[in-house]
Amino acid sequence: MYEIAPSVTVDASPQTVWEYVRDVEAWWVASNPEHESLEILSADGTLEEGTSLRVRERIAGVPGVATGEVTEVVPQRRLTWEATDARYRYFGLTVHVDESVSWELTPIDGATELTARVRASFPETLVGSLVEWSFEHLLDGVERDYQHAMRELEYIREELESSGRA
Q: What pLDDT score was predicted for residue 93?
A: 86
- DSSP for 110-165? TEEEEEEEEEEE--SSHHHHHHHHHHHHTS-HHHHHHHHHHHHHHHHHHHHHHTT-
Parse the chain into domains and list their residue ranges: 2-162
Please report, in angstroms and rounded to a whole number, the separation of the first and last CA atoms in the chain.
36
Q: What distance in Å separates the CA atoms of residue 44 and residue 40, rounded to the nearest whole number?
A: 9
Written as one letter, the residue type at 70 is V
Instruction: Please give the backbone phi and psi of residue 30, each rounded to the nearest 5 degrees, phi first.
Output: -70, -20
pLDDT in tens, 39-81: 999 867 678 999 999 999 999 999 999 999 999 999 999 999 9
DSSP for residue 91: T
What CATH architecture is 2-162?
2-Layer Sandwich (3.30)
pLDDT in tens, 12-45: 999 999 999 999 999 999 999 999 999 999 867 6
Mean pLDDT of the region 70-96: 93
